[in-house]
Chain A
Amino acid sequence: KAGVTQTPRYLIKTRGQQVTLSCSPISGHRSVSWYQQTPGQGLQFLFEYFSETQRNKGNFPGRFSGRQFSNSRSEMNVSTLELGDSALYLCASSLATGSNTGELFFGEGSRLTVL
């Protein structure tokens, strides 16, 4: 069974640009969450999507947005990039059924560098 796939793995952007990151969850998983990992702030929750609806959102500015498609694949977008947005962005998928304890399975991440 394929794991969580994130693309691209590495990318470099300049300040003011925007970026879109993609995440394909494990087959059958309907929930996708995104996390930002930086040396200074650690791992921080961005948002969770379930059945194409944002279910939960972390404390990030509106420049950070996401969406989920009918096949459960998800994208996140960061507009007007700032130097501080340089980070590893991790996607995680989960079965998210009523009786499921919601274990998260993480992808390898997309490493964004903003110059």
Chain B
Amino acid sequence: AQSVTQLDSQVPVFEEAPVELRCNYSSSVSVYLFWYVQYPNQGLQLLLKYLSGSTLVKGINGFEAEFNKSQTSFHLRKPSVHISDTAEYFCAVRPSGSARQLTFGSGTQLTVLP
């Protein structure tokens, strides 16, 4: 079984400042890792994913994440945020086999302040 911990439930940050949203996971098997974003009254949109290879993954909207196997972490970063980045962000994992069941963290509400 897998579990995901998002260490911060709310992160306020000023516009144009950098941000890091933290995610740690636990799994007894190898996993794929994902970050999704959810805007109000919408579904989930994939920001980026780590499947294998380079541990630094770049996604949409200027976001990137780094996979750290020894620390079982997959933190999301953006060097300069915009008001439009205000949303809830979810970290998720799934086994790297054929099963496609995602286990999600509890989410981090990112609020960008003017």
Contact = CB atoms under 8 A, between A and B. Distances in A.
B32 A101 contact: yes
Interface of A: 4, 31, 33, 35, 42-45, 48, 55-56, 58, 90, 92, 94, 96, 98, 101-109
Given A31-B100, A94-B100, A102 B49 contact: no
A102 B43 contact: no
Contacts of A48: 100-101
Nearest to B42: A108
Interface in B16-40: 32, 36
Nearest to A46: B101
Nearest to B90: A43
B47 to A, nearest CB: 12
B104 interface: yes
Contacts, number: 55
B49 A104 contact: no
A4 B107 contact: no
A105 B101 CA distance: 13
A33 B100 contact: yes
A4 B13 CA distance: 32
Contacts of B103: 45
B102 interface: yes
B49 A103 contact: yes
Given A43-B90, A48-B100, A4 B43 contact: yes
Residue of A96, A98, A108 with most partner-chain B CB within 10 A:
A108
A108 B105 CA distance: 19
Contacts of A31: 100
A109 B100 contact: no
B43 A58 contact: no
